[in-house]
Structure 1
Amino acid sequence: MTRMKTHTKEIVGLQKSGAMLFCSSDNVVAARLAEALGDVGMLVQEVPSTEALARRLGELSPKAVFLDFTLQADEPGKLLRSADLARLLARVAPTVPRIAVGMLAQPQGTLAAMRAGLTEFVDPFSSPDEVHEVVLRLLQGTEQLDDKPTAHRSVLLLGARAGVGTSTMAVHLAGILQERLAQSAITRNGAADRPMRGPVVTGSALPLADRVGIMDLGWPVGDCQLYLNVSSEFDVVEAVRNLRRLDATLLTSALAHTDSGVSVVSLPRDMAAMREVSQPDSLLLFDRLRHHFGFLLADAGGFNHPEFVAGLARGAQQTWLVTDQSVGSLVSLAGVIKELTAQHVDLSHLRLVVNKYDERYGMTAQQIAERFGIQLVGTLPDRTLQLVVCTNQGKLLHEVSERDAYVRALQQIADMMTADFLAPNAKGNWLSGWLPGVHRRLVTPNNH
Structure 2
Amino acid sequence: MQTRPMLYSINRPELGVDLPFYSSDEKRAKHVATRLRHMANVHWVDTRDIGGTGEPVHLPGSPLVLLDYSLMQAEHSSMLARRLIDGTPGVSLLAVGSLGNDKAGVVLAAMRAGVNEFLDIDAKDEDISELLARMNCEVRSPAATPAPVPRSRGRLVLLLGVRAGMGTSTLAAHLGSLASSEKSPAKGAPSDAAGVQVLLLDLGRPAGDAALYLSLPNEFHYENALKSARRIDATLISTAFSTHDGRLSVLSQTAGTLEKPADTAELPVLLDRLRLHFDLLLTDVGGLPVSEVPLPLLREADEIWLVVDQSIGAMMSLDAILRQLDARAMRDARLSLVVNRHDPNDGVTAAQIASRFNLPLLALLPERSRALRGSANQGQLLHQTSPRDLYVRALKGLLGRLQVADASTNERAWWKKLIDRKGR
Q: TM-score range by the shorter chain?
A: 0.5 to 0.7
Is contact 1:216-1:300 (8 Å) kept? yes
Query: How many pairs does the alignment contain?
Result: 353
Other-structure match for 1:417:
402
Q: Deviations over 1:361-395 (max 9, x none)?
A: 23332332233232222111111111001000111
Tell me: CA distance 1:42–1:161, structure 2 relative to 1, closer, same or farther (3 Å).
same
Q: Deviations over 1:243-269 (max 9, x none)?
A: 232111111111111124111111013
Tell me: CA distance 1:427–1:218, structure 2 relative to 1, closer, same or farther (3 Å).
closer
Mapped to 2, the partners of 1:244 and 1:306 lie a distance apart of 26
Other-structure match for 1:254:
240
Q: AA paired with 1:90?
A: A
Counterpart mapping for 1:127-166 below 5 A: 149-166=151-168
Matched, 1:35 2:49: no
Other-structure match for 1:186:
186
Mapped to 1, the partners of 2:343 and 2:227 lie a distance apart of 45
Q: AA paired with 2:101?
A: R
Mapped to 2, the partners of 1:427 and 1:342 lie a distance apart of 30
Q: Deviations over 1:224-243 (max 9, x none)?
A: 11111111311112212222
Mapped to 2, the partners of 1:235 and 1:27 lie a distance apart of 42
Is contact 1:167-1:224 (8 Å) kept? yes
Q: How far apart are residue 347 of structure 1 and its match?
A: 1.7
Tell me: CA distance 1:98–1:118, structure 2 relative to 1, closer, same or farther (3 Å).
farther
Q: AA paired with 2:397?
A: Q
Q: How far apart are residue 181 of structure 1 and its match?
A: 0.6
Is contact 1:148-1:209 (8 Å) kept? no
RMSD: 4.6
Is contact 1:350-1:374 (8 Å) kept? yes
Q: 2:330 aligns with which of 340, 345, 354?
A: 345
- The structure with the greater share of residues assigned to helix is 1
Other-structure match for 1:292:
277
Q: 1:321 aligns with which of 306, 319, 322?
A: 306
Mapped to 2, the partners of 1:61 and 1:302 lie a distance apart of 40
Q: 2:382 aligns with which of 391, 397, 409?
A: 397
After TM superposition, the structure 1 stretch with the greater mean CA deviation from structure 2, 359-368 or 27-36, is 27-36
Is contact 1:91-1:280 (8 Å) kept? no
Mapped to 1, the partners of 2:342 and 2:69 lie a distance apart of 46
SS at 1:340's partner residue? helix
Mapped to 2, the partners of 1:364 and 1:167 lie a distance apart of 23
Q: How far apart are residue 150 of structure 1 and its match?
A: 3.2
Tell me: CA distance 1:239–1:148, structure 2 relative to 1, closer, same or farther (3 Å).
farther
Other-structure match for 2:175:
173
SS at 1:418's partner residue? coil
Tell me: CA distance 1:408–1:242, structure 2 relative to 1, closer, same or farther (3 Å).
same
Q: AA paired with 2:342?
A: Y
Mapped to 2, the partners of 1:316 and 1:256 lie a distance apart of 23
Q: Deviations over 1:49-87 (max 9, x none)?
A: xxxx9xx79x989887654xxxxxxxxxxxxxx7xx733
How high is the TM-score relative to the length of structure 1?
Answer: 0.64
Gaps of 5+ in 1: 1-7, 12-19, 68-81, 102-112, 122-129, 191-204, 434-448
Other-structure match for 1:230:
216
Mapped to 2, the partners of 1:25 and 1:372 lie a distance apart of 48
Q: AA paired with 1:253?
A: T
Is contact 1:354-1:379 (8 Å) kept? yes
Is contact 2:289-2:321 (8 Å) kept? no
Q: How far apart are residue 273 of structure 1 and its match?
A: 8.3
SS at 2:102's partner residue? helix
Counterpart mapping for 1:375-394 below 5 A: 375-394=360-379
SS at 2:363's partner residue? strand
Is contact 1:318-1:349 (8 Å) kept? yes
Gaps of 5+ in 2: 6-20, 34-42, 51-58, 60-64, 82-92, 112-116, 418-424
Task: Determine what percentage of the aligned residue pairs are the same residue.
Answer: 31
Counterpart mapping for 1:358-377 below 5 A: 358-377=343-362
Matched, 1:87 2:89: no
Other-structure match for 2:255:
269
Mapped to 2, the partners of 1:337 and 1:90 lie a distance apart of 22
| Greater relative CO, 1 or 2 (CA 8 Å, sep 6+) | 1
Is contact 1:215-1:297 (8 Å) kept? yes
SS at 2:397's partner residue? helix
SS at 2:387's partner residue? coil
Q: Deviations over 1:31-51 (max 9, x none)?
A: 998626777698698659xxx
Is contact 2:280-2:404 (8 Å) kept? no
Q: Deviations over 1:347-369 (max 9, x none)?
A: 22212211112333233323322
How high is the TM-score relative to the length of structure 2?
Answer: 0.67
SS at 1:360's partner residue? coil
Q: AA paired with 2:382?
A: L
Matched, 1:220 2:198: no
Mapped to 2, the partners of 1:242 and 1:383 lie a distance apart of 40
